[in-house]
Amino acid sequence: MLKPRAGTTRDLIDLDGLWAFALSDDAPAEPWMSSLPTSVEMPVPASYNDVLADQRVHDHVGWVWYQRTVFVPRGWDGARIVLRVEAATHEGVVYVDDTEVVRHVGGYLPFEADITDRVTAGEEVRITIGVNNELTNETIPPGAVTTGPDGVRRQMYRHDFYNYAGLARSVRLYTTPTVFVRDITVVTDVDALTGIVDVVVDAQGGEPADIVPRLTLTDAAGDVVATADETAARLEVANARLWQPGDGYLHTLRVELFDGDTVVDRYDLPVGIRSVRVEGQRFLINGEPFYFRGFGKHEDSAVRGKGHDDALMVHDFALMKWMGANSFRTAHYPYDEAVLDYADRHGIVVIDETPAVGLNLGLGGGVHGGGGQLSFTPEMFNDRTRDAHAQSIRELIARDKNHPSVVMWCLLNEPDATEDGSRPYFQPLVDLARELDPSRPLTYANEFRASFDNDRVVDLFDVICLNRYYGWYQNTGDLVTAAARLEEELRGWARTYDKPILMTEYGTDTVAGLHSVLVQPWSEEYQRDFLDAYHAVFDKIDAVVGEQIWNFADFQTSAGIIRVDGNKKGVFTRDRRPKASAHALRARWTAAEATGSETS
Ligand code: BDP
């Protein structure tokens, strides 16, 4: 699925700004049929929950409505006109004037509709978007809606981040010609000094015989390095400058469709030439062992919730660079595509995760709810859940397959991998991901109850990703025992599987400004010492290929007695101020960066 881009044959308008907004309770039954009777205005992109000082809006469960009008530019006559919603969390429905044009379930990936027949160039059109935040057993992520004695509906969910909702990413109107490049798939590899770029173009709208494709690959200086006149071609670049961690070198693939001498469509795709492979206990990028240093993150900030914001994005990347981080995981859902574009350009390595978080009733404690029940049953996470999950994998790979920064797909976060039912649930999803993208390794983030001796699914994957909290949820305050348990477990994994091990979560809730000379959980010193203790263990175990701390920054969660205005495991506060551990980590990571020591 191509990202909309303006170019010589295409136009693009972002419909960002203030939209009329109403909760379904305050809106007419068919809000798309006329102007929304509301004075409330809501910014797009932003989650709606924290923008107004209104508890009803904050806690609302169900549909909300956004509406605005837009003039379709006069010059768009004859073009194919598409309306695209980058994300509607978790279900979206779009009306153009009185007509429904598209409906989509899944809160973190784009969907679009060809609205050419619904609009007239030069005239105004009314766009109404309904967004529903309800989660059920059969959505990804899952949840359940309950109705209390007060008649109020409440959303329960098993993930540890606030269920922000609304239009948190851009809404766009764009054109293509009627004969157009519908999709491009690029897979790169490296053979000695030669860069290999396999390209498949999906062209639509014309008789194939009339349309002649032309592929032109240029380097960053604009010099042509390879060409082809096929829709499926292998381009080879001698002495190619590669995309590398820390050096986001990009080529450009120009795809043109010719009718005679006329270029009917043109699309320029950034391409990073690189290879990714797993060999034994090594994760290789361009044939070199890569050691991941970085974070699990969230799209989260005050007021805008999960709303994408370029200033915040650039700042987060700047802080990661300041620390010497080289990578992050898009916990626990795909992020705005602008984040991947930025990572591509700046050589930051990304583990791209589906929204499949919370498929685990076995986890006890207030964070996740439940405890001790089976997850993969017809009554809980069943075939329909898996269908929704498969859909999220299809859409994720369709959107992100061409990003060089994405080196691995993470198919789930902390599912129950100890149950008999887990394997039949996982296997078809792993098969699907491998079929859709044979070029990237697969992983899932494992929780502590499924260890090397009882995890039923890890052999299906290429990399073992572990989330561990010895010294926090277990052995609280005892870093000596925590380190010993961690070491014993990591050695067990390394002994049992010939696969790389990546720590995708470890960390402690830390109140910025709380200091202690004692071993004091929640203090800044405890977070620092906890991370030090983990790092000393990682440095002893060869199979460990990376460390991604939970979390980059403090983030909002649902209300709960073990969360004080959210999860405080950030190395930065929610407003991005460093805790003591940020400085300690910076010392470790910038030293590793300086020596180029990418292996432990
Ligand atoms: C892990 C989850 C993550 C939580 C974290 C925590 O993967 O989403 O936020 O624990 O408890 O289990 O802080």
Q: What pLDDT, on the 0 to 100 scale, is given for residue 560?
A: 87
Question: Does the domain formed by 180-271 have CATH 2.60.40.10?
Answer: yes
Tell me if residue 505 is catalytic: yes
| Ligand 1 contact via 569 beta carbon (within 6 Å) | yes
User: Which amino acid, one-letter code, is at 566?
Assistant: G
| Ligand 1 contact via 550 beta carbon (within 6 Å) | yes
Q: What pLDDT, on the 0 to 100 scale, is given for residue 600?
A: 40
**Cβ 456 vs Cβ 419: under 8 Å:** yes
Q: How far is the CA of 261 from the centre of ligand 1 (A)?
A: 57
The Cα–Cα gap between 384 and 380 comes to: 10
Burial of 220 (0-12, 13-18, 19+ CB in 10 A): exposed
**What are 497-555's pLDDT values in tens digits?**
999 999 999 999 999 999 999 999 999 999 999 999 999 999 999 999 999 999 999 99
| Ligand 1 contact via 67 beta carbon (within 6 Å) | no
| Ligand 1 contact via 164 beta carbon (within 6 Å) | no
| Ligand 1 contact via 505 beta carbon (within 6 Å) | yes
| Ligand 1 contact via 47 beta carbon (within 6 Å) | no
Q: What pLDDT, on the 0 to 100 scale, is given for residue 367?
A: 47
**What are 447-477's pLDDT values in tens digits?**
999 999 999 999 999 999 999 999 999 999 9
Q: How far is the CA of 569 from the centre of ligand 1 (A)?
A: 9
| Cβ neighbours of residue 412 closer than 8 Å, sequence gap 6 or more | 354, 356, 357, 359, 389, 426, 444, 445
From 467, 562, 574, give the residue whose CB has the most ligand 1 atoms within 8 Å, as the site to mutate: 467
Q: Which atom of ligand 1 is nearest to the CA of 414?
A: 7
Q: How far is the CA of 358 from the centre of ligand 1 (A)?
A: 10
Q: What pLDDT, on the 0 to 100 scale, is given for residue 263?
A: 95
Q: What pLDDT, on the 0 to 100 scale, is given for residue 210?
A: 77
Q: What pLDDT, on the 0 to 100 scale, is given for residue 207?
A: 66
Give the C-alpha distances (Å, rounded to integers) separating 417 from 372, 459, 474, 488, 492. 13, 11, 19, 20, 17
The one catalytic residue among 112, 337, 414, 547: 414
Give the C-alpha distances (Å, rounded to integers) separating 159 from 142, 350, 462, 465. 9, 21, 25, 18
| Cβ neighbours of residue 151 closer than 8 Å, sequence gap 6 or more | none
Which residues of the chain carry a pLDDT beneath 50? 365-368, 599-600
| Ligand 1 contact via 413 beta carbon (within 6 Å) | yes
Q: Which atom of ligand 1 is nearest to the CA of 445?
A: 7
Q: How far is the CA of 337 from the centre of ligand 1 (A)?
A: 24
Q: Which CATH number fits domain 294-598: 3.10.20.440, 3.40.630.30, 3.20.20.80, 2.60.40.10?
A: 3.20.20.80
Tell me if residue 86 is catalytic: no
| Ligand 1 contact via 414 beta carbon (within 6 Å) | yes
Going by alpha carbons, the residue nearest to atom 9 of ligand 1 is: 160
Q: Which CATH number fits domain 11-176: 3.30.365.10, 3.40.30.10, 2.60.120.260, 3.30.1490.20?
A: 2.60.120.260
Could you state, in order of their start, the residue ranges of all structural domains in the chain? 11-176, 180-271, 294-598
Please name which of 336, 13, 36, 307 lies closest in space to residue 166, comparing C-alpha atoms. Answer: 307
Provide the token pair at 340. 């991947």
Q: What pLDDT, on the 0 to 100 scale, is given for residue 228?
A: 98
From 550, 551, 568, 571, give the residue whose CB has the most ligand 1 atoms within 8 Å, as the site to mutate: 550
Going by alpha carbons, the residue nearest to atom 3 of ligand 1 is: 160
**Cβ 270 vs Cβ 263: under 8 Å:** no
The Cα–Cα gap between 430 and 440 comes to: 12
pTM: 0.97
**What are 73-113's pLDDT values in tens digits?**
999 999 999 999 999 999 999 999 999 999 999 999 999 99
| Ligand 1 contact via 367 beta carbon (within 6 Å) | yes
Number of Cβ within 10 Å of residue 117's Cβ equals 10
Q: What pLDDT, on the 0 to 100 scale, is given for residue 595?
A: 86
